[in-house]
């Protein structure tokens, strides 16, 4: 079982999850400051996240950082700040920014598959590998609408995996 959190608070689990992923990006920093009701200069969100990261690691839980990629300089800073995380899931900012060069990110993460995980959209852009959404996975939302990918609009009502899977595989919609 994996749990995703914004890292603002520590949670006690009766049964600890296998993994905890802490989301951290510009959006999460601003939300954390609001949620902690602290004056702008009084909270350093990354320090709070490091504290929460340690809390889970002490319990023997694998801890990762979910990061919405902004640029290579900011990514390197985040990678340094959270060097104790077991891995980093790098997510593509949506909607897709046309013309962005992914070479620097590719070169930086190349060769370390254990630490750096790319979302399916980034795998396609950074590594040139076809997206696996709808091939090895699908997305089902809270209304039981199945989609090839959670980033796309086209969906069908989910019934059973055996009935839904063949219908999902013929959808070709992709945001990249």
| pLDDT tens-digit map of 40-83 | 555 557 888 899 999 999 999 999 999 999 889 989 999 999 99
Give the pLDDT confidence of 19-35 residue by residue, as tens digits.
Answer: 999 988 766 666 656 66
Tell me, yes or no, whether 145 and 108 share the same domain: no
Verify that 76 and 154 share a domain, yes or no. no
Query: Are 92 and 10 in a shared domain?
Result: yes
Q: Domain tally for the chain?
A: 2
Do 167 and 122 share a domain, yes or no? Answer: no
Identify which of 117, 120, 134, 136 has the alpha carbon closest to the alpha carbon of residue 170: 134
**8-state DSSP, 129:** P
Residues 50, 88, single domain; the answer is yes
Of 45, 87, 83, nearest to 64 (Cα)? 87
Cβ contacts of 31 within 8 Å, gap of 6 or more: 6, 8
Residue 32 parent element (H or E): helix 26-35
Whether the predicted pLDDT of 37 surpasses 90: no
Strand pairing partners for 66?
Answer: 23, 89
- Residue 115 shares a structural domain with residue 53: yes
pLDDT above 70: percentage of residues in the chain = 89
pTM of this structure: 0.78
**101 in the same domain as 141:** no
Q: Is the distance from CB of 175 to CB of 152 less than 8 angstroms?
A: yes
Same structural domain, 117 and 35 = yes
Instruction: Convert the pLDDT of each residue in 159-168 to its tens digit.
Output: 999 999 999 8
Are 102 and 144 in the same domain? no
The residue range of the domain holding 54 is 2-129
Using the structure block, give the residue that is written with the tokens 């949670």.
11
Are 36 and 110 contained in the same domain?
Answer: yes
**140 plus 91 within the same structural domain:** no
Top-ranked range on mean pLDDT: pick from 8-12, 41-45, 118-122, 134-138: 118-122
Instruction: State whether 99 and 153 are in the same domain.
Output: no
How would you list the strands of the sheet with 145-147, edge to edge?
Answer: 139-140, 145-147, 155-157
pLDDT of residue 145: 94
More confident residue, 45 or 125: 125
């Amino acid at each position: 079982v994996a749990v995703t959190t914004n890292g603002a608070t520590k949670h006690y689990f009766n049964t600890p999850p296998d993994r905890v992923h802490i989301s951290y990006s510009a959006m999460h920093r601003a939300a954390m400051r609001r949620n902690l009701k602290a004056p702008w200069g009084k909270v350093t969100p990354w320090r709070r996240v490091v504290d929460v990261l340690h809390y889970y690691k002490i319990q023997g839980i694998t801890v990762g950082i979910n990061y919405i990629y902004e640029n290579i300089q900011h990514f390197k800073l985040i990678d340094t700040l959270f060097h104790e995380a077991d891995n980093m899931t790098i997510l593509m900012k949506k909607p897709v920014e046309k013309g962005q060069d992914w070479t620097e990110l590719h070169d930086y993460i190349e060769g370390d598959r254990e630490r750096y995980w790319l979302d399916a959209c980034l795998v396609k852009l950074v590594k040139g590998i076809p997206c696996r959404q709808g091939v090895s996975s699908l997305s089902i939302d809270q209304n039981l609408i199945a989609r090839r990918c959670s980033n796309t609009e086209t969906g069908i009502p989910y019934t059973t995996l055996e009935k839904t899977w063949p219908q999902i595989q013929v959808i070709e919609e992709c945001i990249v």
